[in-house]
Amino acid sequence: MVLLVRRPPAAWFIFRGWYVRPLVRLDGLMTRGAIRLRHDLTLQSPSIQQAAFPILGAPCNALWCCAGRLQSVAYPACNVAHALHMPDALAAHSTYHLSFYKFVHIAQPELCASALRDVTADVFGSILVAHEGINGMVAGEAAALDDFETRLDADARFAGLFGDIVFKRTACRTQPFRRMKVHTRPEILPLGVEGVKIDVPAVSDALHAVSPQDWRKLIEEDDVVLIDNRNSFEYRLGRFRNAIDPQVKNFRDFPRYIEENLPVWKAQGKRVAMYCTGGIRCEKTAAWMIGMDMPVYQLEGGILNYFATMPDAGKDWQGECFVFDNRIALDTHLQETGTRAEDVYAGDPDEQWRLQRARKLAESD
């Protein structure tokens, strides 16, 4: 049996939908993986072989391990679920991809970016910083990513702004990035609409975050319009069944599609359900849609969280999921598919600039 938790303490990471504690001492050994209770379903000092928790349930406060025994647990309102097994493939990978974002006011983006350059010395990837928040993808060895997460939480220069970021970690065969870039921008995600302010409490109230389990039920309801909040080339590669392709070449085109169709949806008494890769595009869209008098539902954690959480995600998903790095695409088990950039952009003259950029990144990043 395992505990289901939503957010781990600092320095935990995610592997295939599991929150994993970086290091747990077991009779003098250091190991990783999934908690297994040796005798019963109680949580009082079970023997530990490994430590991990799938992404669900209530927030996690703390876990202390010593000499192979679970000493203290503080998980308010946690649930106990059926036993799950952590694949042994964890040890077979040396490189992992970590994605994260957070809408939070950053008073001095340049100073934040400078500090980020310090704490990313041992990883590769790309991080954008703006007054509205942070959006990043990095890759490296597990220990380097553990250290990055810890420093993002604990470094005084970040003033605690990033302590509750949700990280998504997946194992890699292909090196996702070949160098590290940290840049400041006017926005971490341009929507193409002037004056959109991210009021996090207001967005949380307006946007109904739907768990993967409930999402499966929601998208089958007749009054729901299911919208793919990504670019058309991403939709073509893979999508939820019955999802609508807004036919946009860039996220900045998405608001026009909503404005053109919103009156029709309202007249039909529809609700809007949208999804994107990791959640950031839906959250930015929801901030813009506040006040439009339309119920908006978002897949919590995006497509990647759905794959990580639902072992049978293939029942609802057709194709692959595009990712913006050298891996190109993942299947519903978060494994690289072998799809090439040429396969994604073939036959579309408007996307040739993306193909050239992908080739450049693969060569020198």
What values do phi and psi take at 235, rounded to 5?
Answer: -60, -45
Q: Which residues contact 6 (CB under 8 A, 6 or more apart)?
A: 55, 56, 57, 58, 59, 60
**Tokens matching residue 182:** 């940290």
Catalytic residue among 78, 112, 172, 276: 276
State yes or no: is 276 an active-site residue.
yes
Q: What is the CA radius of gyration of the chain?
A: 21
DSSP 195: T
- Strands lying side by side in the sheet with 224-228: 207-210, 296-299, 271-275, 224-228
**Tokens matching residue 94:** 């040396």
Other C-beta atoms within 10 Å of 266: how many?
A: 12
Quick one: the chain helix, strand, coil %, rounded to 5? Answer: 30, 25, 40
Q: Which residues contact 98 (CB under 8 A, 6 or more apart)?
A: 13, 123, 125, 137, 138, 139, 145, 148, 149, 167, 168, 169
Whether 131 contacts 196, CB under 8 Å: no
Residues noted as catalytic: 276
